[in-house]
Chain A
């Protein structure tokens, strides 16, 4: 069975500082990997995803994540955060051949001035 671990439930950071949100997964087969973001009182929105090809994927708002097969990780990074990045971030894994996403427990990113 596949599972996702987000070890950090909350990450406080100052504005313009770099941040890394960690995600590790377990699966015995090939996977697709996703990061979703949830702003307060809203549904989830896709931030970025890895399906195949380049292991480094980027979002339009400056986030990036790198698929590391040997470490079974898909950490999310941003070199300089903004107040507006305050949200909860969910990592998710989908086994190729299956239809069901499995989510991590989420990491709340708190950006302060």
Chain B
């Protein structure tokens, strides 16, 4: 299995509080991605990174920000959590974008009350 960990694995928070999710990889892969998974929507890309300090938006980026200060870490921040951000969040990595397999982490289950 690709060396990807996510923390925390489960989190319950209240509306309006900031939340940061962490993705850590030991594979030295260039690309890192954050997805959210919701019933009936499959996986949707939130943000992705193509290198240290290089990030771009996905299709559902509103309300989320990311940072990548090191190759191995990609942080997803919900500045002010809302109930609509209750979801399962997955991090993924790939060595190059085009055609390369994306390897997924175990996921973080977030509940915003």
Contacts and interface: CB of A to CB of B under 8 A. Distances in A.
Interface of A: 6, 9, 32, 34, 36, 42-46, 49, 51, 90, 94, 96-106
B98 A32 contact: yes
B27 to A, nearest CB: 14
Given A90-B43, A94-B99, A101-B45, A43 B105 contact: yes
Nearest to B45: A100
Contacts of B43: 44, 90, 103
B42 A96 contact: no
B97 A42 contact: no
Given A46-B101, A99-B31, A104-B42, 16 more contacts: A9-B40, A36-B104, A44-B43, A44-B90, A44-B92, A44-B104, A46-B103, A96-B98, A96-B99, A98-B98, A99-B50, A99-B97, A100-B48, A100-B58, A100-B97, A106-B42
Interface of B: 31, 33, 40-45, 48, 50, 58, 90, 92, 97-99, 101-107
- With most chain B CB atoms within 10 A of its CB, the pick from A34, A96, A99 is A99
Contact of B107 (A34, A43, A46, A98): A43
A34 B98 CA distance: 12
Nearest to A97: B98
A46 B33 CA distance: 16
Contacts of B50: 99
A44 B33 CA distance: 13
A105 B7 CA distance: 25
A32 B101 CA distance: 10
9 contacts: A32-B99, A42-B107, A46-B101, A46-B103, A90-B42, A90-B43, A98-B97, A98-B98, A103-B43
A64 to B, nearest CB: 18
Contacts of A34: 101
Contacts of A104: 42
Contacts of A90: 42-43
Nearest to B35: A103
A49 B94 CA distance: 14
Nearest to A6: B42
